Structure 1
Amino acid sequence: MQKREHNKFSLWMLAWPIFIELFLQFLLGAADTLQVSRISDDAVAVVGFSTQLFSALMTLFMTVAGGAGILIAQRIGSRNNEDARTIAIMSVKVSAVIGLGISVLLYAMPGQIASLLQLPDELMPLAKTYISIVGGGMVLVAVMSALSNAIRNTGNTKGPMYTAIGMNVIHVGMNYAFIFGKFGFPEWGLKGVAISTDISRLLAVIVLFMMFFGAFARQITFRDFFKLFDRTLFKEILKIGWPMGVNMSCWVFSQLLIFTYIARLGAVELSTRTYMNTLESFCFLLGYSLALALQIQIAHLYGAGKAEEAYRNSYRALWIGLGIVTVNALVLYLIGGHILKLFTKDPEIIAMGISLLGMNLLLQPGKMLNMGIGNALNAVGDTRYVMWTSITSMTLIASILSYIFGITLGWGLVGIYACMILDEYIRGIWVLQRWRKKKFLKPAQEKMAASSPNTGSSGGGTSVTLEV
């Protein structure tokens, strides 16, 4: 049993299914972008703009799901499976309620929301259709995120991966049928992409629920969702989760604000940024997978009182991640121009995108540093510090300086990207300094010493050693 748990929570066993899942999500986005580009560059701009809006609103339910995920891993590490089960059920229930509220808002007011965010008038008709349909299905995203997060933090990262495979295959196939009117379906265009998105997500939710019911030692039933609620545990979820939610909100709202700046520059710049989002996502996929896996592993170790091992593993994962994202960024810089030509024939968009790929060489290592060590701090409960670094840097640099350099000084996308790079490195340096102090690892050492007085922090014969 010790060997199985050793393997289950090793960094590689956690990371590779997450990578496959995220890679397939990237393919979903890339396929969306490629297929939508056959409609028009304006349609691409609407999808990119809407994605930033949806990401901003997702932080409302990811606050609960994120805090719950860390606590699930910690409780399993400390062999408290019943608490882990209760936390998971509560996270799904609360996320569903929040997601339903968001769905009603986006379905009822798509035009008003797009106007508030300064979307160009020529894009408004497409935006109303896309936001109302995909936004109306945000409850599915809320439930899917909570289920995936809970399952993943039990050490089962393969389940969400297999679900992502099925969801992507179905989505791409339906896109082809609904956009171009194949197999007897009407030619719906961008509306077809929106409908395809909601259907594929609904099917994913059904599959994830089937996995979720058997994810813990004691079977979960439908009755648990109506009866089970522990206020003390929920307060603990919020204590860890709300700073993570604020942190995520800072990022997505700064990105949404940046999209409004870019929208002021014009539809060409907005389309370019959307294409760049797709390329950058591919570049960072494996590094981000390592960062997520590291958070699960460190939370598990922290729950078991294995403080020093958690500290050492974070640096191994960081160096591996830095090497991977640097190589990926270099390869993307060399071939990115050819990839852009698959999406668009507009020479202005291609030229602008190639210049940003060069800046991406600087951006990606900073993102890896910030994400890797930031997730390590989150895993041990130091979420407030990560939150304050985000509030400070994203407000002053990502939001204010981006406007000054991009809009006021007229540097456009180049100026905005320069500020994004500076923001990542500033936050990365801050979280690294905090992690090196080991402040929030000391409680784990004391816990382990108290529970195993004869063996110190090694945890005795029942400890589980986790490796990269």
Structure 2
Amino acid sequence: MAAQSTPRIWSLTWPIMIEMMLQFMLGTADTLMVSRISDDAVAVVGISNMFFNAVIILFTLVTSGAGILIAQKLGGGKPDEARQIGIMSVSITVILGIIISVLLIYGTSLFTTALHVPDNLKDLSHTYMSIVGGGMVITALNLSMSTAVRNTGNTRSPMYIALGMNILHVVLNYAFIFGAFGLPELGLMGVGISTVISRTAAFFFQQHLFRHAFGAPVLVREFGRFHAKLLKEVLKIGWPISVNGASWTFSQVVIFSIIASMGEQPLAARTYMNTMESFAFTFGWSLALAAQIQIAHLYGAKKLRQAYYSAYRALGFGVIVVLANTAVLLLFRTSIISTFTKDPWIIDMAVSLLWLNLALQPGKMLNMALGQSLGAVGDSRTVMTYSLPSMWIIAVGVSYVLAIPMHWGLYGIYIGMISDEYLRGALCYFRWRKHRKKLLFAAAFREDVKLSGRSNGNDAVPL
């Protein structure tokens, strides 16, 4: 079977970027509408979504590894194995999704207590978490199917589905919050119902897309088949990515709690900065994800020289773009920040922190581009080994020491975060360089073998 042609980096990047930007903008609109209910409702949505994001990381144990292997298998001309991996990832994540949905429907009181939700918010939290959490099985299905489709090189279709889902969610939010279009005014309960309905609508499109992503339509009976060897490959790549993602999420929660202990103004300033920084690095993160798909295809196709240098091309272009985005923020800094708040302390602090982004964003790009590249060739365990100590010792530990005992405040937090990004990025760089000899030597060897007429086209290069 001939290898699938390698998708171009830009054709992969722009749909991912648009999808992320739309989710970011529509998520902001969602928050603004919920604020019309009450500040308590916003707090409940914020706490609940933080928890749901942590839960979703569990699904990446399977979906992330499956996505990389699907790209590798298609690049290597093994569509049947790619198909089997995609089907297995959906089957396993739906089982996990059912278990989590049941737990969240009947066990919300345990989770709200664990999250230290204030007593006056517990009833509201129970309502929202049980509705949205009860639909977590739909979230699992959407995530596994969209990841599989995206790694076949089709990043446009998941983008269109995400666009439609988010628009429907905002429209239904408006309807249920304000009682529009003849629907009842349900408040936060309506927001939860809106979330489940929009995700369910997206599922019907996702399943159609998934069924036809691997040639012949996927049949229902295929979901009961498990292939131990392929599943082992998926988990080998997926579990380090999942652990790494969970660690990053919880380290950010701890950092936010450190900032919260400093007072309302620093917390507000960091929250606004988080929103603005999302604009700066969204394209960089999209490019890193696209590079991972492309490199996995190239690696599977044994185009090793191209795979190696693709990481550097993505890194170089990404650094230029994130710096350009940061420059735009700096150019219009006062106008942008003033749309969020009129507090002079927060405005001055945010302006100062924006300058630090000139150092932060290239470090993020270095870390993202090379970290995703290592994952693309199956070296996700090394990334996890480097990342966990850096996240907790540097990002959390150094941030705390500089911010609290040394009284550097948010400047200390940013120094800790910048140091963490560059340390992890540098470690990923040196690890990628270690693969240089293996990849380039193997590429040269394959070219020599082909020239001598002795190649059978199946020379594997383990990493």
TM-score, with structure 2 as normaliser: 0.89
Seen in structure 2, the aligned counterparts of structure 1 residues 100 and 406 have a Cα distance that, compared at 3 Å, is farther
Match of 2:328 among 331, 334, 339: 331
In structure 2, the partner of 1:79 is 77
CA contact (8 A) 1:49 1:259 kept: no
Moved more, 364-373 or 265-274: 265-274
Question: Structure 1 CA distance, aligned partners of 2:259 and 2:117?
Answer: 10
Matched, 1:455 2:451: yes
Question: Structure 2 CA distance, aligned partners of 1:408 and 1:46?
Answer: 31
TM-superposed CA distance for 1:433, in Å, is 1.2
In structure 2, the partner of 1:158 is 156
Question: Structure 1 CA distance, aligned partners of 2:262 and 2:188?
Answer: 24
Matched, 1:66 2:64: yes
TM-superposed CA distance for 1:265, in Å, is 4.4
Seen in structure 2, the aligned counterparts of structure 1 residues 260 and 186 have a Cα distance that, compared at 3 Å, is farther
Moved more, 81-90 or 182-191: 182-191
Match of 2:395 among 378, 395, 398: 398
CA contact (8 A) 2:9 2:290 kept: yes
Question: Structure 2 CA distance, aligned partners of 1:121 and 1:358?
Answer: 40
In structure 1, the partner of 2:461 is none
In structure 2, the partner of 1:442 is 438
TM-superposed CA distance for 1:84, in Å, is 0.2
Does the residue aligned with 1:218 lie in a helix, a strand or coil? Answer: coil
Does the residue aligned with 1:454 lie in a helix, a strand or coil? Answer: helix
Question: Structure 1 CA distance, aligned partners of 2:307 and 2:396?
Answer: 34
In structure 1, the partner of 2:50 is 52
Does the residue aligned with 2:191 lie in a helix, a strand or coil? Answer: helix
Does the residue aligned with 1:438 lie in a helix, a strand or coil? Answer: helix
Question: Structure 2 CA distance, aligned partners of 1:219 and 1:448?
Answer: 39
Q: How does 1:315-330 map to 2 (within 5 A)?
A: 315-330=312-327
CA contact (8 A) 1:45 1:267 kept: no
Match of 1:385 among 367, 382, 386: 382
In structure 2, the partner of 1:13 is 11
In structure 1, the partner of 2:209 is 211
Moved more, 142-151 or 324-333: 324-333
TM-superposed CA distance for 1:267, in Å, is 5.7
In structure 1, the partner of 2:132 is 134
Seen in structure 2, the aligned counterparts of structure 1 residues 80 and 412 have a Cα distance that, compared at 3 Å, is same
* Letter in structure 2 aligned against 1:90: M
Matched, 1:418 2:415: yes
CA contact (8 A) 2:303 2:443 kept: no
Seen in structure 2, the aligned counterparts of structure 1 residues 32 and 63 have a Cα distance that, compared at 3 Å, is same
Matched, 1:178 2:176: yes
* Letter in structure 2 aligned against 1:366: G
TM-superposed CA distance for 1:205, in Å, is 1.4
Match of 1:366 among 359, 363, 366: 363
Match of 1:89 among 87, 90, 95: 87
* Letter in structure 2 aligned against 1:182: A
* Letter in structure 2 aligned against 1:11: I
CA contact (8 A) 2:308 2:439 kept: no
Q: How does 1:190-269 map to 2 (within 5 A)?
A: 190-226=188-224, 228-265=225-262
Question: Structure 2 CA distance, aligned partners of 1:93 and 1:187?
Answer: 37
Q: Deviations over 1:357-389 (max 9, x none)?
A: 343333222111100010001001111110011
TM-superposed CA distance for 1:89, in Å, is 0.4
TM-superposed CA distance for 1:111, in Å, is 4.4
In structure 2, the partner of 1:31 is 29
Question: Structure 2 CA distance, aligned partners of 1:17 and 1:178?
Answer: 30
In structure 1, the partner of 2:147 is 149
Does the residue aligned with 2:66 lie in a helix, a strand or coil? Answer: helix
CA contact (8 A) 2:44 2:125 kept: yes
Matched, 1:308 2:305: yes
Seen in structure 2, the aligned counterparts of structure 1 residues 94 and 451 have a Cα distance that, compared at 3 Å, is farther
CA contact (8 A) 1:42 1:267 kept: no
In structure 2, stretches of 5+ residues that fail to align are 459-463
Does the residue aligned with 2:180 lie in a helix, a strand or coil? Answer: coil
Seen in structure 2, the aligned counterparts of structure 1 residues 235 and 452 have a Cα distance that, compared at 3 Å, is farther
Question: Structure 1 CA distance, aligned partners of 2:414 and 2:46?
Answer: 17
What's the Cα RMSD here? 3.1
Percent identical across equivalent pairs?
52
TM-superposed CA distance for 1:134, in Å, is 2.5
In structure 1, stretches of 5+ residues that fail to align are 463-468
Count of matched residue positions in the alignment of Structure 1 and Structure 2: 458
Seen in structure 2, the aligned counterparts of structure 1 residues 43 and 452 have a Cα distance that, compared at 3 Å, is farther
CA contact (8 A) 1:41 1:271 kept: no
Question: Structure 1 CA distance, aligned partners of 2:160 and 2:335?
Answer: 31
In structure 1, the partner of 2:100 is 102
TM-superposed CA distance for 1:308, in Å, is 1.1
CA contact (8 A) 2:71 2:293 kept: yes
Seen in structure 2, the aligned counterparts of structure 1 residues 232 and 19 have a Cα distance that, compared at 3 Å, is same
Seen in structure 2, the aligned counterparts of structure 1 residues 47 and 265 have a Cα distance that, compared at 3 Å, is farther
Q: Deviations over 1:181-205 (max 9, x none)?
A: 3223333333333322222111111
TM-superposed CA distance for 1:40, in Å, is 4.6
